[in-house]
Amino acid sequence: MVLFIMKVLVTGFAGFIGFHLCERLLSAGHDVIGVDNLNPYYDVNLKLDRLFQLRLLSNRSTGNLVPVIGCIEDEELVNNTFRKHAPEFVVNLAAQAGVRYSLESPHTYIESNVLAFTNILEACRHNPVKHLVYASSSSVYGGNTSLPFRETDVVDNPVSLYAATKKSNELMAHTYSHLFGIPTTGLRFFTVYGPWGRPDMALFLFTKSILEGSPIQVFNNGQMTRDFTYVMDIVESIERLIPTIPSSNCAHDSVNPVPSSSWAPYKIFNIGNSSPVPLMKYIQSIEAVLEKKAILNLMPMQPGDIQATAADTSALDAWIGYKPATTVPEGVKNFVEWYRSYYKV
């Protein structure tokens, strides 16, 4: 039962996480204004199919979907969308994703992740938005090697431009929280996977190649560990965080500050499974579901990659009473079932 109806603007709504979040919000009866430019970084047909699913859901649920096709780099489009639809809450998931692609197309990351986020912040400043939730990334931990990663860790050593743009988003959000009193919450996602996932992500690539009998690229000779996080755990966390609005932290210590909160209405949270899995074990989980062995092409570490991630999510649990816990075998099974159905394999 929905206690109150929210009007939520979701950028990147035809993307992987955005699609699942909008599904959840619409099913719960909330109204969604979705903004997406449907860019061709990966298969646009997948994005269009997600959009089609959301339209169907909107037609049969009490929640209403208003799709807006366009770039949030376009200041006029952003301002017009806020003025016309007056969202109470904003979830910014639109971004240029991918660590390796940032080596090839750096300007795209500045435009999509920095300029576009400035437009969102300015729109929140000039409209009565109750809470801005935005995607950061576990990549901000960069060169840190002390595990698990905690929000109180210093994150001043990014190893990719993608990570640097996400760190800049956190700094920009804090500035607007301080100057204009806009409540903001940044979310450091840890290796998200699941049905309707991105074709450039490991699970998608591995599943496709194993089924085709093609080799899979295994970086750092397989000596990698990731805190794989199932997409519906991400969505559950975001849904709970949207109406949980941060306030100023009166206990903030300006002599010994921590990066995850301040005197401003500002929060940062890890969203991860807190159960890091070696890459080779992850591959074995895929092989088990597919009942087929992978052909491994062992490769060196790639520029911008980090060897291991692990999330401490105790702050998230304390804030919203939720801890992601979907196991890798369960999540992989759900993805493979979707993949076989979607691609009729």
CB-based burial, 74-99: b 16+ in 10 Å, e otherwise: eeebbeebbeebebbbbbbbbbbbbb
Helix, strand, or coil (residue 145): coil
**Distance (Å, rounded) from C-alpha 202 to C-alpha 332?**
11
Which residues are 247's β-sheet partners?
Answer: none
Whether 162 sits among the annotated catalytic residues: the reply is yes
Pairing assessment for the beta strands 225-226 and 277-278 based on DSSP bridges: antiparallel
Which residues are 278's β-sheet partners?
Answer: 225
Backbone angle region of 184, left / alpha / beta, with phi > 0 → left and psi within -120 to 50 → alpha: beta
134, 162, 176, 266: the catalytic one is 162
Give the count of alpha carbons within 13 A of 286, CB side only.
26
CB-based contacts of 233: which residues, under 8 Å, 6+ apart?
271, 273, 324, 325, 326
**Burial class (CB within 10 angstroms; exposed 0-12, middle 13-18, buried 19+) of 154:** exposed
Q: What does the block give as tokens for 279?
A: 């890459």
**Distance (Å, rounded) from C-alpha 238 to C-alpha 316?**
11
Q: Which residues are catalytic?
A: 162
